[in-house]
């Protein structure tokens, strides 16, 4: 994460007192490299994202970021890409996704074509991220390089789940899980959100979420009822 190029309007002399000055750019490039992406921490839809291939390009892009707080991300030369839909910090749906295609063509409507070990790793990592962030609805995107999943985008609590985008099977899964989550929330007593940092560090929260759930008898799909009603 990088400091703002220009301090936000509401900043004071105490706002960034924990930052070193001048910034150790050599350490930044040693850690990330000179090929990567500058992107805002609260962006979306590819807005204000700058691909860079050298220090010169980096500083030209950084100088144009104004009051945006930016992150500098290492370039991942991926050979596969997946988007994981996570609901209730317990359920994960892994979908093949190609960010290089036009928006309407990015989702594959087929089952993920990857090794079971990689699939489980993405499910596990997606759960850990969403539990740490406290998101009940989120998508986590992984770029795969040398069989290693790199989390590229994992703060999207209002993801695209349109039938025409994700396809019939993914859509039905999303509707079923969101409906179950909404019903469970409505029945539960109101309580303040709680982030489980200590449990996450020990791996307990994810272990609990990974326990097998007994399947209930098949019922009429909520997605059918919603579309008909």
Instruction: Answer yes or no: is pLDDT of 218 > 90.
Output: no
Q: How many CB atoms lie within 10 A of CB 29?
A: 14
**Residue 1: which of 32, 47, 46 has the closest Cα?**
32
Q: pTM for the whole thing?
A: 0.73
Structural contact between residues 127 and 204, judged by C-beta atoms closer than 8 angstroms? no
Indicate whether 102 pLDDT > 50.
yes
Q: Are 32 and 74 in contact (CB under 8 A)?
A: yes
Question: Region 73-80: what's the mean pLDDT?
Answer: 92
DSSP structure class, residue 111: P
Tell me: the pLDDT tens digits for 77-98? 999 999 999 999 999 999 999 9
Q: Are 181 and 138 in contact (CB under 8 A)?
A: no
Per-residue pLDDT at 197:
61
Distances from the Cα of 25 to the Cα of 36, 57, 72, 192, angstroms: 14, 14, 12, 41
Could you report the per-residue pLDDT of 125-166, keeping only the tens digit for each? 999 999 998 899 999 999 999 999 999 888 888 888 999 999
Q: Which domains does the chain have, with CATH numbers?
A: 1-75 (3.30.1490), 80-209 (3.30.470.20)
Helix (H, G, I), strand (E, B) or coil at 210: coil
Residue 52 buriedness (CB in 10 A; 0-12 / 13-18 / 19+): buried
Q: What mean pLDDT value characterizes the chain? A: 85
More confident residue, 152 or 220: 152
Per-residue model confidence (pLDDT) at position 9: 85
- Provide the CB-side half-sphere exposure for 33 (13 A, CA): 10
């Amino acid at each position: 994460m990088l400091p703002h190029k220009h301090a936000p309007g509401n900043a004071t002399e105490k706002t960034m007192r924990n930052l070193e000055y001048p910034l150790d750019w050599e350490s930044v490039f040693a850690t990330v490299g000179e090929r990567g992406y500058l992107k805002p921490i609260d962006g979306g839809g590819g807005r204000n994202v700058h691909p860079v291939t050298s220090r010169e390009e980096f500083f030209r892009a950084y100088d144009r970021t104004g009051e945006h707080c930016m992150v500098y991300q290492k370039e991942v030369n991926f050979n596969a890409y997946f988007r994981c839909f996570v609901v209730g910090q317990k359920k994960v749906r892994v979908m093949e996704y190609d960010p290089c295609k036009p928006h309407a063509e990015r989702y594959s409507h087929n089952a993920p074509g990857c090794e079971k070990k990689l699939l489980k790793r993405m499910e596990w990592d997606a759960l850990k991220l969403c539990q740490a962030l406290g998101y009940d609805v989120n998508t986590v995107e992984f770029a795969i390089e040398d069989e290693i999943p790199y989390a590229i985008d994992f703060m999207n609590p209002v993801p695209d789940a349109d039938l025409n985008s994700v396809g019939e099977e993914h859509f039905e899964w999303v509707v079923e899980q969101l409906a179950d989550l909404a019903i469970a929330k409505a029945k539960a007593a109101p309580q303040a959100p709680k982030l489980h940092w200590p449990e996450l560090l020990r791996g307990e929260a994810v272990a609990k979420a990974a326990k097998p759930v007994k399947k209930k008898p098949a019922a009429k799909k909520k997605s059918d009822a919603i579309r008909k009603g």
